[in-house]
């Protein structure tokens, strides 16, 4: 038997006693603790030894957050030095620096949040913000990305890569528009490429010259677009006319259909108004 000393206070006096535990129980507890410590050390070593992921080689990639506290509709986009977070009410951008050779990953302290709803940022966004800002390593863990602290496998943020099935959460190049009865590439007097993104009901991009803003409503394959133009600086008259041609084609769309890697926006009469190509 093993004795563990204990004391109890009594009125005006102290009494000392001993609690008796079977030796086998004590040894079991000790060995369990030792095994747990060895397991923890093994997991830490395995984490440290995993190679850093070279994000620069991924191109534009899309991810979901694998955590019970995360917004299930939030999308994380990683592209050329920036990690972007998008949900119904938040759009945030986090510049980062990575050195695969030195096994270093650092999120810039200067992040940018663009609220899409009134009120304070959600707790889910703030948790993502906190987890990402604490990170100093990024690892490829069998099909997912884990962002965490360099020497701690238990403090991390897991991201699962996915391919958006529809028009949302991807960057598109407006490859063709309907001009009367002919689909043609947009024509601009300089090297301008129209682009568009569909993100939680908000449109972003450029019809060619200036910026594209607006909203959209998506229900299965039905799509209603309300796109408009804003100008920053001078836009040549011929480019401005082509802008309106692009906007008119977009606003006529009522549904979308995937054709290979491209996405066709089709009107009520069944005519393809716009062809979108992946901008990746």
Please list the helix, strand and coil fractions of the chain in percent, rounded to the nearest 5, in that order: 20, 45, 35
Residues 224 and 221: their CA atoms lie apart, in Å, by: 10
Examine the pLDDT at 8 and tell me if it is beyond 80.
no
Average pLDDT over residues 59-79: 87
What's the whole-model pTM score? 0.65
Q: Can you give the residue ranges of every domain in the chain?
A: 2-49, 55-161, 171-278
How would residue 56 be classed by pLDDT, with cut points 50, 70 and 90? low
| pLDDT of amino acid 80 | 76
Distances (CA, A) of 195 to 152, 214, 223, 243, 279: 41, 14, 17, 12, 8
* Alpha-carbon span 197 to 3, nearest angstrom: 70
For residue 113, what pLDDT band results from cuts at 50, 70 and 90?
confident
pLDDT on residue 266: 94
pLDDT of 11 above 50: no
Helix (H, G, I), strand (E, B) or coil at 13: strand
| Per-residue pLDDT at 18 exceeds 60 | no
Averaged pLDDT, 257-271: 92
Tell me which residue has tokens 């694998």: 66
Q: What is the mean pLDDT of the chain?
A: 77
What is the average per-residue pLDDT within 61-72? 88
What pLDDT does residue 279 have? Answer: 85
Q: Which CATH architecture has domain 55-161?
A: Beta Barrel (2.40)
The CATH code belonging to domain 171-278 is 2.40.128.270
- Highest mean pLDDT among 18-32, 140-154, 165-179 belongs to 165-179
Q: Is residue 37 within a helix (H) or strand (E), and if so which, with residue range?
A: helix 23-49
């Amino acid at each position: 038997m093993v004795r563990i000393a204990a004391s109890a206070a009594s009125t005006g006096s102290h009494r000392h006693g001993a609690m008796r535990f079977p030796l086998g129980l004590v040894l079991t507890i000790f060995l369990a603790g030792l095994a747990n410590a060895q397991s923890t050390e093994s997991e830490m070593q395995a984490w440290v030894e995993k190679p850093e992921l070279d994000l620069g080689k991924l191109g534009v990639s899309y991810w979901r957050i694998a955590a019970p506290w995360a917004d299930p509709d939030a999308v994380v986009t990683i592209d050329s030095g920036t990690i972007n977070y998008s949900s119904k009410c938040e759009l945030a951008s986090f510049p980062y620096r990575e050195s695969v050779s030195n096994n270093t990953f650092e999120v810039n302290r200067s992040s940018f949040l663009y609220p899409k709803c009134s009120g304070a940022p959600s707790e889910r966004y703030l948790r993502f913000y906190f987890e990402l800002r604490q990170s100093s390593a990024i690892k490829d863990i069998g099909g997912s990305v884990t962002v965490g602290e360099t020497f701690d496998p238990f403090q991390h943020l897991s991201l699962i890569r996915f391919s958006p099935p529809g028009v949302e959460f991807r960057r598109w190049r407006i490859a063709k528009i309907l001009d009367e009865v002919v689909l043609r590439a947009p024509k601009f007097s300089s090297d301008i490429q129209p682009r568009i993104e569909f993100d939680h009901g908000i449109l972003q991009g450029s019809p060619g010259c200036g910026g594209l803003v607006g909203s959209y409503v998506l229900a299965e394959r039905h799509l209603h677009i309300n796109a408009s133009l804003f100008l920053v600086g001078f836009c040549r008259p011929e480019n401005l006319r082509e802008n309106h041609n692009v906007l008119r084609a977009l606003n006529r769309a009522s549904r979308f259909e995937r054709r290979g890697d491209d996405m066709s926006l089709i009107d009520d009469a069944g005519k393809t108004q716009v062809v979108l190509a992946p901008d990746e």
